């Protein structure tokens, strides 16, 4: 589950919109917004955001602060 508030805050801190976030990972804004609404996205796209936005604590954003139990 994605913590969408934190992800959007990361974008905003860098002066980027959600549409810019979509552009960074190479998907349409509609697709990106859909993922945010569902609070999920493909791992490879999350990794791109982590790299491009230099996110220091990705667990807080992409696992909503909770690592999955195996």
pLDDT at 63: 82
Domain 4-62 has CATH 1.10.10: no
Q: Where are the domains of the chain?
A: 4-62
Q: Convert the pLDDT of each residue in 13-68 to its tens digit.
A: 999 999 999 999 999 999 999 999 999 999 999 999 999 999 998 988 988 656 55
pLDDT at 68: 56
pTM: 0.84
Contacts of 41 (CB under 8 A, 6+ apart): 2, 35
pLDDT at 64: 66
């Amino acid at each position: 589950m994605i913590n969408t508030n934190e992800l959007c805050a990361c974008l905003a801190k860098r002066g980027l919109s959600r549409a810019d976030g979509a552009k960074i990972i190479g998907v349409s804004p509609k697709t990106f917004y859909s993922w945010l609404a569902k609070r999920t996205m493909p791992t490879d796209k999350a990794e791109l955001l982590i790299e491009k936005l230099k996110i220091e604590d990705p667990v807080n954003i992409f696992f909503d602060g909770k690592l999955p139990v195996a």
